[in-house]
């Protein structure tokens, strides 16, 4: 059982983030329960890499003095699995927003799908989605997007060692991606649709690994709270 001193000196928590929770909500929830458990007024808790609300999976949280090394975890290689749906796009590149355009998919063969993944492996340039937490002149891009404002977004260099399609079910493509910090899987889905002379959006996403940490070793929020109160 972890003591208050353990959390203050620094503890690394592996949480399996549930669907529709923001990473910030997870941090707030766990911070509140740690404060309640030990009857303290404050404790530092931070996460090492945001997961979108519609994504599930591994979220690393650091407490106390370990929050000073969050950047080290954020910089590590990550692995994701999920589903790309062909034939339609959304402004957010995922299911946060409604479909805004549809495209033909009859010309897309399984061979073309697998061949096209090669365009997205190695060191590539990627443009983050307008619906992202990146700040421009102090304002987060998603705040501008929700107001209907457009802004120029610069591409950034990322590395994708692995991008493979693991299952094809009609227009739904299951995938596994291993990528560097700063990669947007939503942008990968959108760009993949364009490369297929069609359109696509991300319909499911799960983060499975960050460095050597695996989601199989993570606990749910409820499990963490139950363990904390024992």
Domain containing 28: what range? 4-75+212-229
Res 1: pLDDT: 76
- The per-residue pLDDT for range 19-45, each reduced to its tens digit, is 999 999 999 999 999 999 999 999 999
Beta-bridge partner residues of 174? 83, 167
- Structurally, the chain folds into a number of domains equal to 2
State yes or no: is 52 an active-site residue.
Answer: yes
Q: Which of 52, 71, 94, 174 is catalytic?
A: 52
Pick from 77, 130, 106: which is nearest to 196 by CA? 106
23 and 111 in a single domain? The answer is no
31 and 92 in a single domain? The answer is no
58 and 31 in a single domain? The answer is yes
Three-state secondary-structure class, residue 47 = strand
List of the chain residues with pLDDT < 50? none
Residue 165 · residue 173 · CB < 8 Å: yes
189: tokens are 């889905």
Q: For 149, which DSSP code? A: -
* DSSP result, 89-109: E-TTSSTTS---EE---TT--
Pairing of strands 200-210, 55-63: parallel
Res 130: pLDDT: 75
Whether the pTM exceeds 0.95: the reply is: no
Res 131: pLDDT: 66
CATH number for the domain spanning 157: value is 3.30.2350.10
């Amino acid at each position: 059982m972890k003591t208050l001193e353990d959390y203050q000196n620094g503890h690394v928590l592996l949480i399996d983030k549930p669907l529709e929770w923001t990473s910030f909500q997870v941090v707030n929830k766990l911070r509140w329960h740690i404060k309640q458990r030990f009857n303290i007024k404050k404790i530092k808790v931070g996460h090492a890499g945001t997961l979108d609300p519609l994504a599930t999976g591994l979220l690393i949280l650091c407490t106390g003095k370990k929050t000073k090394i969050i950047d080290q975890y954020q910089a590590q290689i990550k692995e994701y699995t999920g589903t790309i749906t062909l034939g339609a796009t959304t402004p957010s590149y995922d299911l946060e927003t409604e479909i805004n355009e549809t495209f033909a998919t009859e010309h897309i063969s399984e061979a073309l799908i697998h061949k096209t993944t090669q365009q997205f492996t190695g060191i590539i340039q990627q443009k983050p989605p307008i619906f992202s937490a990146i700040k421009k002149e102090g304002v987060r891009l998603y705040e501008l997007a929700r107001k209907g404002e457009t802004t120029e977004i610069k591409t950034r260099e990322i590395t994708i060692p692995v991008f493979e399609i693991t299952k094809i079910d009609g227009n739904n493509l299951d995938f596994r991606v291993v990528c560097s910090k700063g990669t947007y899987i939503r942008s990968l889905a959108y760009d993949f649709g364009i490369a297929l002379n069609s359109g696509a959006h991300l319909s499911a996403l799960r983060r499975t690994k960050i460095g050597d940490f695996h989601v199989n070793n993570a606990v749910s929020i409820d499990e963490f709270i139950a363990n904390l109160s024992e």
